């Protein structure tokens, strides 16, 4: 049995790695998130450091799960860290961050921030591209 690879599919995947991720903010307003392969090495490293910092946030233990104030503090810290990354990734970060910050509930806001970063990481294949040369 022969493995057949479609060159058009390979081409489409290659092009996708170099295209921005576009987030619709409403009313024909969008925010573009740069593809990781088009970011300067210094910015890529800073984004990866922010992602590691989020991963290193202390996990809440069972006693803390009932402490709403502490949970909100964690949520705000996560938003702050992700905002640093989005300022490097987004072509017009003020607009995107302003839209994300309209959410008053810190937990929902943290979920929004996290989801935007996850979508960007998935769409730009961050894991594969992180060690690519500049």
* CB atoms near residue 34 (< 10 Å): 21
Query: Would the pLDDT of 134 be above 50?
Result: no
Q: Where are the domains of the chain?
A: 18-129
Q: Which of 5-19, 32-46, 61-75 has the lowest mean pLDDT?
A: 61-75
- The per-residue pLDDT for 101 is 97
Confidence (pTM): 0.81
CB proximity list for 126: less than 8 A, separation 6 or greater: 36, 120
Share of the chain above pLDDT 90, in %: 57
Please check whether residue 33 is in contact with residue 117, taking contact to mean a CB–CB distance below 8 angstroms.
no
Evaluate whether 85 touches 51 at the Cβ level (below 8 Å): yes
* Average pLDDT of span 93-101: 96
At residue 132, does pLDDT exceed 60?
no
Residue 21: strand pairing partners: 33
pLDDT in the model for residue 67: 79
Residue 131 pLDDT > 60: no
Per-residue pLDDT tens over the stretch 20-55: 999 999 888 999 999 988 999 999 999 999 999 988
- State the pLDDT at residue 128: 47
Q: At what angle do helices 106-123 and 68-89 cross, to 10 degrees?
A: 40
């Amino acid at each position: 049995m022969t493995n057949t690879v479609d060159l058009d599919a390979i081409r489409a995947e290659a092009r996708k790695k170099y295209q921005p991720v576009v987030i619709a903010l409403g009313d024909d307003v969008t925010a573009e998130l740069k593809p990781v392969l088009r970011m300067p090495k210094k910015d890529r490293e800073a984004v990866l450091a922010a992602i590691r910092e989020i991963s290193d946030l202390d996990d809440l233990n069972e006693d803390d799960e009932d402490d709403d104030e502490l949970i909100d503090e964690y949520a705000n810290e996560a938003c702050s860290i992700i905002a640093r990354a989005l300022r490097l990734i987004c072509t017009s970060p003020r607009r995107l961050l302003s839209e994300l910050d309209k959410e008053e509930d810190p937990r929902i806001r943290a979920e929004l921030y996290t989801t935007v970063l996850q979508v960007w990481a998935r769409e730009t294949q961050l894991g594969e591209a992180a060690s690519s040369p500049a």
